[in-house]
Structure 1
Amino acid sequence: MQRRSFIKRSSMAGMALTTLPSFFNNQDAFYTTKELLGQADIELFGKGINLRKEAHDAFILMKKAAYQDGFDLKMVSSYRSYERQKAIWERKYIKYTQQGMKPLDAMAKIIEYSTIPGTSRHHWGTDMDIIDGYAKVTGDVLVPSKFEAGGPFEKFKLWLDENAQSFGFHLVYTDNYFRKGFKYEPWHYSYAPLSKPMLKQYRKLNILKLLSQAEMEGSEHFTRGFLMEYIHNNILDINPDLL
């Protein structure tokens, strides 16, 4: 498909600004602890999309706008339950420790890109990992270099930089040099009108206690220092627009 030039305020982006629900409509919503930890069944929308209704509708608008500019906005990952995140964590922990890494080193390696179960933003039905389905790419698609100059997703990333916020989506883990925690993820976007109030409620939980009581591979090695640093750097050191 021939790619057409795009501008920040495309007609679809402009439409998004007038059709998306106001952020303040979500301030009084209540989310249970199990919802925030990914342990509750929540209503998700869209085949292969799996987002909460409002985030789903915004995604569809953005997908249509991207299509008009020659991109196929494709979902790689969205909602992820606690059990699914636990499986990812334990697979990596077992792999790294079997390779000879010490437990704390293995966990430090995991949290470069993967979360401790119960702390993933993907639990909320507001966050997604996306790529351009039209781009020709081989191997792993969620690699930062593939979104940079010369990479298969370079133009797609520029389009997201120009347009995503018009639909309520913000990059979570930016390439800010001073940011700590998870490494740069140019593919991970969050629907702010829902995820901001959800994070606000999540921060009111006793996260340290919840993580200390968690049972999974390696959890016996969770020290207070490790968890405190994880909460400060990995959970909270994100794009300021999402705080």
Structure 2
Amino acid sequence: MKRRTFIKKTAVSGIACSLPPVFPFSSNPDYSISELMGKADIELFGEGINLREEAYMAYTKMKKAAYSAGFDIKMVSSYRDFYRQEGIWERKYLRFTEDDNMRPLEAIDKIIEYSTIPGTSRHHWGTDIDIIDGYAKTSGDVLVPEKFEAGGPFEGFKAWLDENSEEFGFYLVYTDDPRRRGFKYEPWHYSYAPISIPMLTAFRKKNILKLLQNEDFVGCEHFTTGFLRTYIQDNILDINQNLL
């Protein structure tokens, strides 16, 4: 079981960000394959927050600033280990293939509109968050793009994030750039760049294709080399360019 440390008092630190972002992280961070794939026992901070310490500190500062502006940042999802992502993947695969009678490759294409292959989720790193405004009145699934657009319950919150999130080191991952491929637009998904950039750099240096070919979960027998190469290029790397 992964280890969590719960901080009761808010820690505040200042972060200076610019475009393109320049962050004071190690030029050669040492991240293991198991850590990058969500299989390691990492230390997480904040009850109900579950982020690496530096990301947690930046998050609490951003939450305080948002509160002053009339928004209550509510965490929907943060750290997910490999096995939780595996469960999400397998439930969707079985639902699409058994309940919806999709062919395996159709089901996989449907899953990767929004969900990652286990071992490749940015949520494995303790740096990424899915957030909404807890003050807004809404019902049903909250993580849908329409709720963050004009007339939606999170319209004002999204405008605030567009203006302020990068000041705290948090960058939108899957933008609405029409030229971007891979995962669909996720206006709720932000990444703490000072840590996630070096983690992605380390991940890119691994043989991701081989790592995925060595996994064994429902549906993975349908992965071809061509599919995995496209997935790596489009879904892992075709993101907000400030996070590369």
TM-score (norm 2): 0.91
Q: What is the distance in 1 between the residues matched to 2:28 and 2:214?
A: 29
Q: 1:26-105 counterparts in 2 under 5 A?
A: 26-98=26-98, 99-105=100-106
User: What is the CA-CA distance between 1:18 and the residue it aligns to?
Assistant: 5.3
Question: Aligned pair in 2 of structure 1 residues 36, 186: CA closer, same or farther (>3 Å)?
Answer: same
CA contact (8 A) 2:16 2:167 kept: no
% identical equivalent positions: 66
State the number of aligned residues: 227
Amino acid at match of 2:150: A
Aligned: 1:125 with 2:126: yes
Amino acid at match of 1:44: L
Q: What is the distance in 2 between the residues matched to 1:117 and 1:239?
A: 21
Aligned: 1:214 with 2:218: no
User: What is the CA-CA distance between 1:236 and the residue it aligns to?
Assistant: 0.3
Three-state SS of the structure 2 residue aligned to 1:16 is: coil
User: What is the CA-CA distance between 1:16 and the residue it aligns to?
Assistant: 3.4
CA contact (8 A) 2:133 2:154 kept: yes
Q: What is the distance in 2 between the residues matched to 1:25 and 1:193?
A: 6
User: What is the CA-CA distance between 1:225 and the residue it aligns to?
Assistant: 1.1
Which ranges in structure 2 are unaligned for 5 or more consecutive residues? Answer: 1-12
Q: What is the distance in 2 between the residues matched to 1:35 and 1:102?
A: 33
Q: What is the distance in 2 between the residues matched to 1:214 and 1:222?
A: 11
Q: Which residue of 1 aligns with 2:15?
A: 17
Q: What is the distance in 2 between the residues matched to 1:67 and 1:16?
A: 17
Q: Which residue of 2 aligns with 1:174?
A: 175
Amino acid at match of 2:176: D
Q: What is the distance in 1 between the residues matched to 2:232 and 2:105?
A: 16
Q: Which residue of 2 aligns with 1:6?
A: none
Structure with greater helix percent: 1
Q: What is the distance in 2 between the residues matched to 1:17 and 1:211?
A: 35
Question: Aligned pair in 2 of structure 1 residues 222, 63: CA closer, same or farther (>3 Å)?
Answer: same
Three-state SS of the structure 2 residue aligned to 1:129 is: strand
Q: Which residue of 2 aligns with 1:148?
A: 149
Q: What is the distance in 2 between the residues matched to 1:41 and 1:25?
A: 22
- Root mean square deviation of aligned Cα: 1.3
